[in-house]
Amino acid sequence: MTEYIRGLLEAHQVRIYFFAILSGALLGIAVPGTGALEAAINPALAVMLFATFLQVPLAQIGIALRNIRFLTALLSTNFIIMPATVWGLVQLLPDDPMLRLAVLFVLLTPCIDYVITFTHLGQGNARLLLAMTPILLLLQMLLLPVYLSAILGSEVSNLVQAGPFLHAFVWLIVIPLVLAAITQFIAKRTRRGDQLLEWLNVLPVPATALVLFVVLISVMPQIGDAQQAALSAAPIYILYALIAPLVGRLVARGLLLEPAAARAVSFSASYRNSLVILPLAFAVPGGVPLLPAVILTQTIVELVFLPLYVRWIPKLAQVQSS
């Protein structure tokens, strides 16, 4: 039963996400006082990441770390080549420090949630990528302040305080990961624990949809003032969406990855961590509504690109393996 529900949710997840975005946006506009729901974003994110980490066979993280070619391709793509690409793309933006900060926030942080399912849809090695999610999340939290300082200079990067990063590290990485490990431990040793885990494995799509809904309903009352900034960022996001899979393909080809692993690298390069990065954006003084609006624009662009990626990225991997 749980497998059927999970399969159904995953098969229709893009429709579910767009419904969550649309309903959250409409309610945020129509119902007064929904901005107060901003406080619910972090708890919703914690649930989403707990659900994501539950999918990680924690014992396989060590196996994934021993896959040196995949690890090299994944980390060099996400933390060396794509940041250099993003630096070039932000030069095309208007000289508005807050706009550039918003774009950098989202494009410098690789996705660790729905990219797993999208990788599976695109015939990539989703389990290998899934095992790397805690590493990807930890590295982006550590490196994002470094990238922001290098690209924007200290004047703007000083707006990004250490406190929210530490808070995000504890509540979005440590606690969900520990709870997921405890749940897996119990599930292996008791029948009831195993049954509980089966039902919890249904959570990823609903939890992600909940985050999208809560974010939109809380941000929409203020988002009208940031429409121009969001429209300015959209062409950059489209350029990124076209470039990223090709970068993943080239890196994977250079390291002679097998096709499924190569597809995983391309998907990882293409999808960004917009939902998890939002609490950091909310913590920037004077960042609302511009930063959330610009970040959420990227979410919409990458979801629109999904049908193209599911068809295109497998063909890229076939080309590189031929």
Q: Where residue 104 sits, what CATH number does that domain have?
A: 1.20.1530.20
Report the sign of the C-alpha dihedral through residues 219, 225, 227, 232, in that order.
Answer: negative
Beta-bridge partners for 272: 110
**132 phi and psi angles, rounded to 5 deg:** -95, 0
Long-range contacts of the stretch 276-279 (C-beta < 8 A, 24+): 276/45, 276/49, 276/109, 276/112, 276/113, 276/137, 276/168, 276/172, 277/105, 277/106, 277/109, 278/41, 278/45, 278/215, 279/41, 279/42, 279/45, 279/164, 279/167, 279/168, 279/172
pLDDT of residue 168: 82
pLDDT for the residue numbered 155: 67
- Given a cut of 70, whether residue 157 has pLDDT beyond it is no
Q: What is the mean pLDDT of residues 145-168?
A: 81
pLDDT tens for 96-147 read 999 999 999 999 999 988 899 899 999 999 989 988 988 999 899 899 989 9
Q: What is the 3-state secondary structure (H, E, C) of 108-123?
A: CCECCCCHHHHHHHCC
* Ordered DSSP codes for 161-179: -HHHHHHHHIIIIIHHHHH
Distance CA 110, CA 135 (A): 11
Return the structure tokens found at 262.
């190569």
Has residue 293 got a pLDDT over 50?
Answer: yes
Residue 186 banded pLDDT, cuts 50, 70, 90: very high
Tokens at 72, concatenated: 């090299």
pLDDT mean over 185-198: 92
How many domains does the chain fold into? 1
Residue from 129, 142, 161 nearest 248 by CA: 129
Summarised one tens digit per residue, pLDDT across range 266-291 is 999 999 999 889 888 888 888 888 99
Q: Residue 133: which of 172, 190, 165, 89 has the closest Cα? A: 172
At 322 the pLDDT is 46
Question: Strand pairing partners for 110?
Answer: 272
The confidence score (pLDDT) of residue 160 equals 76
- Predicted local confidence at residue 19, as pLDDT: 95
Question: Is the pLDDT score of 156 beyond 80?
Answer: no
pLDDT: which is higher, 156 or 53: 53
pTM of the model: 0.90
CA torsion angle 102 171 161 214 (round to 10): 40
Backbone angles phi, psi at 37, to 5 degrees: -75, -5
The range of the structural domain enclosing residue 120 comes to: 2-28+36-219+226-321
